[in-house]
Amino acid sequence: MKCAACGSSSLLEGELMDMGDGSMIAFKLKDVSMWKSIFGKGTRKVNAYGCLNCSHLQLAVDFSNEDRDRYRQFEGVQPGFLERINSEEE
Ligand SMILES: [Zn+2]
C-alpha cells in the first residue's frame, strides 16, 4: 500500500483507539441498527496507516472475503438492508 497523499510506501500500520475507554473504532454498515452493532453485527475492524513522510492518515476497512462475495453481487446501487437479509436466507 502507498500513501494516497504523497505516494510514499513508508506507512506504519495501526488501529484507531478511543483514548477515553480504550475501545477500538469500527466501521458500521449504514443500514445496521445500533442495537445489532452493539452485538458485533454489521461492524468491521478499521485498519489505520500513518505515513512517516507526510503524516497523512489513511483508513481501510477490514472486509472479509465473505463480505466481498455478498456485496459484489449487487454492483452499482446497493439494495436496502431488508433485501440483503432476504437474499441471505436463500
Ligand atoms: Zn505520505
Question: Residue 84 Cα, ligand 1 centroid: separation in angstroms?
Answer: 37
Number of domains in the chain: 1
Looking at the domain assignment, is residue 57 inside a domain?
yes
Q: Does residue 78 sit within a domain?
A: no
Q: Determine the distance separating the centroid of ligand 1 and the alpha carbon of 53, expressed in angstroms.
A: 5
Distance 48 CA to ligand 1 centre (A): 13
What pTM value is reported for the model? 0.68
Inside any domain, residue 35: yes
Q: How far is the CA of 75 from the centre of ligand 1 (A)?
A: 31
Q: Tens digit of pLDDT for each residue in 8-56?
A: 999 999 999 999 998 888 998 888 888 888 777 889 999 999 999 999 9
CA distance 39 to 3: 33
Provide the pLDDT for residue 45: 93
> Is residue 85 predicted with pLDDT exceeding 70?
no
Range of the domain at 54: 11-63
Distance from C-alpha of 2 to C-alpha of 18, rounded to nearest angstrom? 26
In a domain, residue 82? The reply is no
pLDDT at 13: 97
Task: State the number of CA atoms in the 13 A half-sphere of 58 facing the CB.
Answer: 16
The candidate with the shortest Cα–Cα distance to 27, out of 56, 64, 1, 55, is: 64
Long-range contacts of 25-33 (CB under 8 A, 24+ apart): 27/61, 29/81, 31/80, 31/81, 31/84, 32/81
What is the distance in A from the centroid of ligand 1 to the CA of 22? 27
